[in-house]
A = this chain, B = another copy of it.
C-alpha cells in the first residue's frame, strides 16, 4: 500500500511543503508567491521553485499569469459549484465501483472502522474530527474502488482551503444528515448494492453542494 523509492529532489520537497502550507491554511487563497523569497526560505536556487510552481499550477493549487507570478488559487462560488457537479458523478462512480467489487476482509473492516469513527465524532459533536474522518472516509472508498484515474480526478475537484473553516460553518443537524448519508453508502457497499451505493453517494454529495451554495459571500 506504499511505493518505496521516491528519490527526493528539491523541487519535490518544495512542492510538498507548499502543498502542506496551502492545505493547512497557512497560505491563504490569493496570496502571491515570490520566487526569490521562497528560494531564500528554502535555501535553494530559483529554478526548483519555478518548477514546483509549474507542478502546483498543474495540480490546480496555484494560478499563474505570465510575467506576473503565481498566487494561491482562489475559487469563486460558481467554480465551487461547477466542481461539486463533477464531484457528484465521480464520487458516486467510486461508490459504485467499490460496491461492485468483492471486498477483502481488510477492506470490509477498514470501512466499518471508518464509519465507526465518524459515528463517534457525530455523537460527540466533534466537528473537527468529523471533518477529518469524513475526508479519510471518501479517500478510503476511492482506494477500495481501485481506479487510480477516478481517484486522481476526484482529488482535482476537492477544495483544500476551506478545510479549516468549513467545520465552523457546519451546523449539528447538517452533521447528522451528512453521517446519515455515509451510513447508507457504507451499508450499500458492504452489501454489494451498487445502485444504492451510487445513488446514496450522489445525494450525499449533492447535499454538500447545496450547503456550499449557501455559504456567505465573505468566504470568497
Instruction: State the CA gap A194–B157 with chains docked (Å).
Output: 23
At the interface, yes or no: A216 with Cβ under 8 Å from chain B? no
| Residues in A lying within 8 Å of B, measured CB to CB | 6-7, 9, 11-12, 47, 50-51, 54-55, 57-59, 66-67, 79, 82-83, 85-86, 89-90, 92-93, 97, 147-150, 152-153, 156-157
A149 contacts across to B, CB distance below 8 A: 79, 82-83, 85-86, 157
Let me know if B93 and A86 touch, CB within 8 A. yes
CB distance from A108 to the nearest CB of B (A): 23
Minimum distance in angstroms from A87 CB to a CB of chain B:
9
Given the complex of chains A and B, what is the CA–CA distance between A11 and B57 in angstroms? 14
Partner of A148 from the list B57, B66, B82, B90 (CB cut-off 8 Å) is B82
| Contact across chains for B82 and A147 when beta carbons are under 8 A apart | yes
Residues in B neighbouring A147, C-beta threshold 8 A: 82, 85-86
> How many Å from the CB of A17 to the closest CB on chain B?
17
* Bound-complex Cα distance A150 to B84 (A): 10
Q: Which residues of B contact A153 (CB under 8 A)?
A: 86, 90, 153, 156-157
| A54 CA to B51 CA, complexed, in Å | 7
Question: Are B97 and A66 interface neighbours, CB within 8 A?
Answer: no
Residues of B within 8 A of A152 (CB): 156
A86 partner residues in chain B, CB cutoff 8 A: 90, 93, 147, 149-150, 153
Give the Cβ gap from A148 to chain B, nearest Cβ, in Å. 6
B7, A150: Cβ atoms under 8 Å? Answer: no
Q: CB distance B150 to A66 under 8 Å? A: no
User: Residue of B at shortest CB range from A52?
Assistant: B54
